[in-house]
Chains A and B, each alone.
Chain A
Amino acid sequence: MRVALFVTCVNDTLYPRTGQAVVSLLERLGVRVDFPEAQTCCGQPQFNTGYRHRTEPLVHRYASAFAGYDYIVAPSGSCAAMVRDNYPRIGEKAAAEGRGHRLAQLAADVVPRTYELTEFLVDVLGVTDVGAYFPHTVTYHPTCHGLRVLGLGDRPLRLLERVRELELVPLPRAEECCGFGGTFAVKNPAVSAAMGEDKARHIRRTGARAVCTVDNSCLMHIGGTLSRQGDGARPVHLAEILASTEDRPYGGLR
């Protein structure tokens, strides 16, 4: 089984610890993971802002960077959703514009091999107990693209429930968007901030030490809002909780 990590550009640049956590988690589970260095970005920010044509080179890049791997694992619901939901659309539209079927073929090739991390753990490896240890209260925010585009369902919660010493606190109005939305956060900053403030308030009321998601981009917005408001839960990517063990516990919370 050849497994590649698609770390995503946000994690690569801003949250390398999340990528490191995926590597250590998967290796602990006996999976050898590669990081093809030709990978960069799935193209989601460009595509969702309306620059479909500018996204096309990145579809090519993704397909060639991950050629030959059985599984492409991304610690991001929205980047996995970009590949699975939008790459076929990009391919179809290119064909409709009379530019051949190459992109559509590339999309068809990568879509079934692309997995969000919790899908890979639960569906492919068949594990929910990954041997993790995280002695803190945690609340989970299901990010929109994981929830509604990928249909992750309760996979993240099933994984969290099996983490030793972790106390899971339910988040009220959990399924409501946090207000990040990629370029939405800067194109409609007032509404984005209002949504973020409501999300942060709900999180703070849970009293949890950490707020966890499968997307660091949403966490960047949630965490940035929480810390601007002062005290509050720490944003932690699910992979970092699952990578944390008694021998090598997560170091971000004291």
Chain B
Amino acid sequence: MSGTYLGMPAFPRAAEESTRQATMRRNLTHATRTIRDKRARAVRELADWAALREAGAAVKNRTLRHLDRYLEELEERVTAAGGTVHWAPDAEAAQRTVIDLVRATGETEVVKVKSMATQEIELNAALERAGIAAYETDLAELIVQLGHDLPSHILVPAIHRNREEVRDIFTREMGRWGRPAPEGLTADPAELAEAARLHLREKFLGARVAVSGANFMVAETGTLVVVESEGNGRMCLTLPETLISVVGIEKVVPTWQDLEVFLQLLPRSSTAERMNPYTSTWTGTTDGDGPRDFHLVLVDNGRTDTLADQVGRQALRCIRCSACLNVCPVYERAGGHAYGSAYPGPIGAILTPQLRGTGTELDASLPYASSLCGACYEVCPVAIDIPEVLVHLRERVVEGGPATVRGERVRVRPAAGHAAERVAVRAATWALDHPGALRAGQRIAARSRRLVPRRLPGPGAAWTRSRELPELPPQSFRDWWRQREPKEGAVDDDRP
């Protein structure tokens, strides 16, 4: 029951498909606008929000600059507290580590706390292939999993579904995996939540192994932190005997004092709450309390390569709040699935092409999945200048250039499919660097202006399918200026 992102089409095609799905668009518009407005209110409450945001960015920058040191400190503290640390350079290594750890317990079922890192490495599908059933326990992740679907949002993975769709999924699927949905289940949110509670309770009580991620890891004490709303995380983190946490290496913060900044930034930015209902922290293992066996799988999977890029590395500051998704007009209309990654929306458009590279048509199309309106940057609690990184990655796509791949400094070749565009840009730049040529072009256009059809063929159709072309004026501004002031304003056209 797990999907995969492999082989998905490029963003423009997938997004075009989404724009035609009326129900999904209605669901998304309603949900993102509601949370967008709530977030704005929650942020306005804090007079020092700008300073907090700056602090968040500064703490992350400092941590990333000395990431090696803090990770080693974390490993030392986790180990000293009775945990075991595993290093996974890529997704396959992380999957293998988790599979081996689960097999060592003799179990064939695990419960899961909602985790972006495990979505990124497509852990559920890997476990399934290894004969291990992974049950998502976050309500929205459960909806996605039961619906044989993929998450479409970082915080609200089932944001593309409405309550009627959820009722249908529960009624149809719950019984196949455990306790069935109650007879006559309606689409009332309280009833749906109760059905999920009853279904999940069985899983919590029976599970002997849990898999989680973490929002933060505090290096100074070796403590992991999960923030959540439903309490399912607390259940999974405390009831099973074995806990395996899969965490990206950029989630480390040096001290508890640093953590304090993020525990303010994250809930207000993501759920628009002053404080999230459950904050669980754990340090290694404690006799007679919670899991007896704790494993931390530290995942690189492209992060070190991303860190080597001076512009792109700011994406590693991300705390997965999803505020950028909720304000993004492109995300609202394209939906999360179009991004072909666990990370949709603006942050996905800069994170995925860095973690996975720009080698596929889909990944090369992601930096263009934005009008560069800047709404994402404005709300980002750690001030990631997403438009700046998007343009930086567009350059990698069309011009190629230096990048780090698996620790090696290489020159990336331009992505396929931009040859005609490159020629056009070269010609345009030449004309724009020769005002005489520009003027000649403008005059030809003015003379033939009555010949322009309302609907253009070829690439121009992308414009005229939904919009009229502007009417060409009989005279350019520069020609008007010359006529107006024949002597005074005139200077040589091709002055350098």
Contacts and interface: CB of A to CB of B under 8 A. Distances in A.
Interface of A: 7, 9, 11-17, 19-20, 34-41, 43, 45-55, 57-58, 60-61, 64-65, 86, 89, 96, 144-145, 148-149, 175-177, 179-197, 220-221, 223-225, 227-228
Given A37-B490, A48-B391, A228 B480 contact: no
> Which of B333, B399, B480, B493 has most A Cβ within 10 Å?
B333
B467 A221 contact: yes
Instruction: List the 7 shortest-distance A-B pairs measured between CB atoms, nearest first.
Output: A181-B371, A50-B394, A224-B467, A193-B466, A177-B373, A190-B16, A16-B477
Contacts of B489: 34-35, 37
Contacts of A227: 468
A180 B459 contact: no
Contacts of A13: 442, 445, 476-477
Contacts of A11: 477
Nearest to A18: B477
Contacts of A60: 496
Interface in B1-43: 11-12, 15-16, 19
Contacts of A192: 371, 466
A236 B1 CA distance: 54
Contacts of A189: 12, 16, 462-463, 465-466
A179 B429 contact: no
B475 A16 contact: yes
B397 A145 contact: no
B473 to A, nearest CB: 5
A197 B466 contact: yes
Contacts of B480: 16, 19-20
Given A17-B473, A49-B421, A191 B466 contact: no
8 contacts: A34-B489, A39-B435, A50-B399, A96-B310, A184-B368, A191-B19, A195-B329, A195-B333
A228 B467 contact: yes
**Interface of A: prevailing SS:** helix
Given A37-B493, A52-B399, A189-B463, A14 B473 contact: yes
Interface string B464-496: 011111101101111011100000011111111
Interface stretch (B173-181, B220-228, B374-382): B374-382
A149 B330 CA distance: 19
A148 B378 contact: yes
Contacts of A39: 435
A57 B19 contact: no
B148 interface: no
A152 to B, nearest CB: 13
Given A64-B495, A177-B373, 13 more contacts: A12-B442, A15-B473, A49-B398, A51-B399, A53-B399, A144-B372, A144-B375, A179-B329, A181-B370, A189-B463, A191-B15, A192-B466, A196-B467
Contacts of B494: 38
Contacts of B391: 47-48, 50, 52, 86
A19 to B, nearest CB: 4
Contacts of B193: none
Contacts of A64: 495-496
A199 to B, nearest CB: 9
A46 B429 contact: yes
- The winner among A14, A47, A145 for most chain B CB atoms within 10 A is A14
A14 B433 CA distance: 19
A223 B429 CA distance: 27
B433 A58 contact: yes
Contact of B374 (A46, A47, A148, A187): A148
Given A12-B478, A61-B433, A179 B465 contact: no
B338 to A, nearest CB: 9
A149 B419 CA distance: 31
Contacts of B445: 13
B388 interface: yes
A20 B370 contact: no
Contacts of A15: 470, 473
B467 A38 contact: no
A61 B495 CA distance: 9
Contacts of B388: 89
Nearest to B442: A13
B92 interface: no
B469 A224 contact: yes
Nearest to B402: A97
B130 interface: no
Pick from B310, B393, B492, B496 the residue with the most CB of A within 10 Å.
B496
Contacts of B396: 50
B461 to A, nearest CB: 8
A238 B477 CA distance: 17
B467 A225 contact: yes
B477 A12 contact: yes
Which residue of B333, B378, B425, B477 has the most chain A CB atoms within 10 A of its CB atom? B477
B410 interface: no
Nearest to B463: A186
Contact of A148 (B310, B373, B482): B373
B379 to A, nearest CB: 11
B12 A184 contact: no
A194 B19 contact: yes
Given A14-B472, A49-B421, A177 B466 contact: no
A63 B367 CA distance: 29
B100 interface: no
B428 interface: yes
B432 interface: yes
Contact of A38 (B375, B394, B491): B491
Given A20-B480, A193-B466, A40 B371 contact: no
Interface in B188-247: none
Contact of A37 (B367, B433, B491): B491
B426 interface: yes
Interface string B409-447: 000000000000110011011001101001000100100
Contacts of B72: none
A195 to B, nearest CB: 5
B74 interface: no
B371 to A, nearest CB: 3
Contacts of B334: 191
B369 interface: yes
A196 B467 CA distance: 9
Contacts of B438: 9, 12, 40
Q: Which of A181, A190, A192 has the most CB of B within 10 A?
A: A190
B484 to A, nearest CB: 8
